[in-house]
Amino acid sequence: MKGRIALISLILLGLLVSAVLGEVGSRLLMYFREGRNPYYLTFGFIPDTEYHSSKLSGYTKFQPGRPIHQKVRGETIEVAINGDGYRGPDFERPKPAGRFRIAALGESSTFGYLNRNDETYPVQLENRLRAATGLDVEVMNLGIPHFRIQNILAAARAELPALDPDLITLYAGYNNSMVVEDREQASGAYRIKDWLYFHSVFYRSFHPFVRRAYVELTRMIGRDIGGLPNLSMPVMLRASVVEEQRAKTRTEFRENVLQLSDLADQLGCPLVLVTQGYTLYHLPESPLRDRWRSYREEVAEVSAQYHSKGEVLAPHSSILLHADLMDELRRISAERNLVLVDGIDALDADRSGSMSSFVHLTPQGNGRLAAAIEAATLDAIIRTSGITREGIPPHAATPQ
């Protein structure tokens, strides 16, 4: 018995030593391969683009004042994180006299995942509005990757009163339509995997193989045995399951957007709702990859297949949920008399050149979105500043 225990202990010790050596070796290898990039030495000890260790009430954000790194078109860039834990320069307090301040709320597509620092739509919107009006316009990027609408609302309640915005924009929906429940509510196995993914370079190097094997296993047995909190697995969902999820997601989203509208009223500033671009074109093995379609065409094709068969592939069901949420934005805009920007139409004008992933935007896509928001916000800036329409160049609100 003692010999067996000793053998098991020796095996466990060997596995532990192997894991430690593998982790150290992976970090050093990536450090030198990426030109002595310290990102891989500190990975998991400081927040990643997708992992935020500064936890607050109902939301998380980046550690204030600590830059992070992300890959952009094959190059690792440094992203400045300000003293408030958001991307970009520091927010001055109190707000300087004469400054028109816009709070851009959203997810990773607002943060600028896959974008350089000057390519995000908040930066491009700020530049366009400054050039158009000659005023001191500031667009604060409050987008955090993985934010769902509940997190956006919690962050807005906690952060906006001290920031004193003159206008608020909301560009969101994907995370509620694809990630159908908070990560903390997922299965224990998923949470362990999540922790490893955001803390171990060694594990992350194997993650693509682990995911591929899991996808194949899911496809074989037709069931997501890991209890993932998202709709990414290739399993067919019956209509009853889809409709239950659609109703739940729609209600959840609507209630939080209405509360955000109430908050904007309390702060005395307009809330601008922006419909969000989304495509299934970039999803692996999507039958919609034969050609680019407009957003509405994708929704219509998935909806037709769904109603014809009475079931739909889980990842494809997400665009039905997403379309529901965009309808809610339109409905709330009409009910509350809020400005609505049709971001979907703006991006559909050049969909292949605008969408770098299922929801993230290319620099050109960010430019088109910024132009659409600019057109909708000029009137608010004019009313606040007292300048006249005659002072606005005629090309100010056209895409570049």
In a domain, 397, yes or no: no
What pLDDT does 71 receive? 81
In a domain, 396, yes or no: no
Do 67 and 101 sit in the same domain of this protein? yes
Do 167 and 186 sit in the same domain of this protein? no
Q: Over the stretch 219-238, which tens digit does the pLDDT of each residue have? A: 888 877 777 778 888 889 99
Let me know: does 70 contact 89? Beta carbons within 8 Å: no
Given a cut of 50, whether residue 399 has pLDDT beyond it is no
3-class DSSP state of 304: helix
State how far the alpha carbon of 240 is from the alpha carbons of 233, 244, 303, 312, in Å: 18, 6, 14, 11
What pLDDT does 91 receive? 97
- Please return the burial class of 396, using the count of CB atoms within 10 Å of its CB with bins 0-12, 13-18 and 19+: middle
Higher pLDDT, 200 or 373: 373
Given a cut of 70, whether residue 352 has pLDDT beyond it is yes
- Place 390 in a pLDDT band, splitting at 50, 70 and 90: low
Q: Mean pLDDT in the chain?
A: 88
3-class DSSP state of 215: helix
Given a cut of 60, whether residue 52 has pLDDT beyond it is no
In a domain, 225, yes or no: yes
3-class DSSP state of 165: coil
Amino acid identity, position 157: R
What pLDDT does 30 receive? 82
Given a cut of 80, whether residue 100 has pLDDT beyond it is yes
CA gap 53, 68 in Å, rounded: 12
What pLDDT does 398 receive? 45
Higher pLDDT, 127 or 71: 127
Do 148 and 22 sit in the same domain of this protein? no
| Residue 106, both tokens | 């959203």
Let me know: does 365 contact 277? Beta carbons within 8 Å: yes
Containing domain of residue 65, as a range?
Answer: 54-180+234-391
Do 273 and 356 sit in the same domain of this protein? yes
Do 138 and 196 sit in the same domain of this protein? no
Please give the share of the chain, as a percent, with pLDDT higher than 70: 92
Tally of domains in the chain: 3
Do 336 and 270 sit in the same domain of this protein? yes
